[in-house]
Amino acid sequence: MTDRNKDSYQTYIYDFLKDILVVCPQCSNSAIVKSDGFSFCDHDKDIRVICTSCGFNKKLTEKPTSVLYSASNEKTIEGRHLMIGVPIDPFFHLQLWIRENVNGNLLWAYNYEHLEFIRTFINSKLRERNGQEFSNKSLGSRLPKWMTSKSNRETVLKTIEKIRARVYI
């Protein structure tokens, strides 16, 4: 078990949006949402879901937009809803591949790096902020209490090892 974790309050959920593992909507095998170069200003650019098992391949620009704002038929703004921080991928809203039930709670991760961050954080006895202002934006401060509780540490770590054995090839 590591004694210290120094960077957990400088890491954000957005840091793990690059390659998201999802359940393929066509064959239910593992697929990947590629979002290289993602930015909030131009988030439609080059984002796609790809399944190597069945060949499913779809660009985000092919997904229909929805009305985000409408003011008395004067101005309508259309776009796509990004859902970040929930157990689905933010772009296509597909179920995540890395997810497991832990005592009635859902443990999920966007990709291997995200899962490794959670494992390291939970495994640490001392989680330091290193002079960082108290901020609720960092991933270290946003993990649920059931996950970070000392009483659940063993169970969460065993579940993460179970996930790692299943998803790491």
Mean of pLDDT values over 75-80: 68
Residue with the two structure tokens 């990709």: 111
Mean of pLDDT values over 121-147: 69
* pLDDT of 73 over the 80 cut: no
Give the model's confidence band at 126: pLDDT under 50 very low, under 70 low, under 90 confident, else very high: low
pLDDT of residue 1: 47
SS3 164: helix
Gap between the Cα atoms of 146 and 105, Å rounded: 8
Half-sphere exposure of 27 (CA within 13 A, CB side): 12
* pLDDT of 2 over the 70 cut: no
Structure tokens at 10: 């400088």
Cα–Cα nearest to 133, from 125, 141, 124, 143: 141
Give the model's confidence band at 11: pLDDT under 50 very low, under 70 low, under 90 confident, else very high: confident
pLDDT of residue 10: 62
Mean of pLDDT values over 31-35: 93
Gap between the Cα atoms of 101 and 25, Å rounded: 21
Q: Is the pTM of this model over 0.75?
A: yes
Comparing 71-85, 97-111, 146-160, the range with the smallest average pLDDT is 71-85
CA distances from 143 to 127, 157, 160 (A): 13, 14, 15
* pLDDT of 8 over the 60 cut: no
Other residues' Cβ atoms within 10 Å of the Cβ of residue 16: 20
Q: What is the mean pLDDT of the chain?
A: 80
